[in-house]
Copies of this chain bind each other. A is one copy, B any other.
Amino acid sequence: MAVPPDSVGIIQPQQFRWDAPFALQCGETLAKFELVYETYGSLNAERSNAILVCHALSGHHHAAGYHDAADPKPGWWDACIGPGKPIDTRQFFVVSLNNLGGCHGSTGPLSDNPATGKPYGPDFPMVTVSDWVRSQTLLADHLGIECFAAVIGGSLGGMQAMRWAIDQPERLRAALLIACTAKLSAQNIAFNEIARQAITSDPQFHDGHYRSMGVNPDLGLMLARMVGHVTYLSDDGMRSKFGRELKSGDLNRGRDVEFQVESYLHHQGRSFSSQFDANSYLLMTRALDYFDPARDYDDNLVKALSAAQCRFLVISFTSDWRFSVAHSKEIVNSLVEARRNVASAIIESEHGHDSFLLPIPRYFDVLKAYLNRLTEEARDAG
């Protein structure tokens, strides 16, 4: 296929190696680590036009463009990143990485543990959003980026942007928090726990040592993804997409898959279980559950956000019931109370939490306008 003209084109992932000990929040230390990342666009002479894109639960470094001309699909946020797109690569130098603990090339459960010479598997230490932010600062140092124009993320990616703002206040000018929350609700945690339970109770999980047994907890991962997927969509969105349509012509009143929505979920689940590492999934969902920046500030989100210096854009979607509009409002209200510079937008969408991945016109207009203003202000100040 021909690469479209508004694509960032063929992209070569790069590797960043950190060969010194890296202490994690859990108390354990990685002797060294690698991060796989991609960049789109060019860093300007002032090194002031860099944007960091942080990925969500099941994301990775490949956010835009194609790995080769035969690639059937571009990166996961290709609609948003490219020449003329909301994150305009004619203006910005975009950095996108796979997080520590991931399974797409960065050091994680699939990597060899230098202490044993064997893959970490379930022994990979617990990582937190704070750990990710610190590892990302090392990558930024390596790339010569002292201060990002913006750190952007949806969902778990937004939590990283929030942590950047609080933990590294002088290293970003803007944090864009999309479909984000300041902390998970009990219901959110419950769904994550169900996903973990599905994985760990799969007899092929073998306490996380499935790889060395030559198997994979496919059914557990499939179930985990099916649960997750339903929470990413909305009731209305599923109604429009599937209604009560049957896979075959009429109810045969049997026990097999019959409604379209069932076969869709099975497909999603199966395809995920062939692509994602179970131990990574457990790590990522735990990082979500533990995220709670207010915790270090007397459970006071206003106090936590008062540490930030950057400006904020907070975007939520009307039908998102995983991290609902109320979650974003809590962030916005706390930022207002902390007297930070904050803009916010609530986008009408029936696509639930997944909206943050979709090219919804008003959403993209808001992103584009906000980022354009950042560029203009930097130019005026320069």
A residues bordering B, Cβ < 8 Å?
25-27, 122, 126, 128, 183-187, 189-191, 193-194, 197-198, 201-203, 219, 222-223, 226-227, 230, 233-235, 238-239, 241-244, 251, 253-255, 257-262, 265-266, 269, 282, 286, 289-290, 292, 321, 324
Of A186, A201, A289, the most chain B CB neighbours within 10 A belong to A186
A187 and B289: CB pair below 8 A?
Answer: no
4 closest cross-chain pairs (CB), A and B? A186-B238, A26-B253, A201-B219, A186-B242
Q: A190-B261, A262-B193 are in contact. Are A223 and B239 (CB under 8 A)?
A: no
Question: Could you say which residues of chain B place their CB within 8 Å of the CB of A253?
Answer: 25-27, 126, 128, 286, 290
Nearest CB of chain B from residue A251's CB, rounded to whole Å: 6
- 7 A-B pairs, CB-CB below 8 angstroms? A25-B253, A183-B244, A185-B244, A186-B243, A189-B244, A190-B262, A191-B230
A262 to B189, CA, bound (A): 8
Kindly list chain B residues whose C-beta atoms are within 8 Å of the C-beta of A290.
251, 253
Q: How many monomers of this protein are in the complex?
A: 2
Closest to A295 in B: B251
- A187 and B233 within 8 A (CB): yes
B-chain residues with CB within 8 Å of residue A258 when the two chains form the complex? 289
Contact B185 A235 (CB under 8 A): yes
Say whether B261 contacts A189, CB under 8 Å: yes
Q: How far is the CB of A255 from chain B (nearest CB, A)?
A: 6
**Contacting residues, chain B, for A259 (C-beta < 8 A):** 186, 189, 193, 289
Count chain B CB atoms within 10 A of each CB in A254, A258, A262 and give the residue with the most. A262
Known: A253-B290, A292-B244. A197 touches B226 (CB 8 A): yes
A48 to B201, CA, bound (A): 52
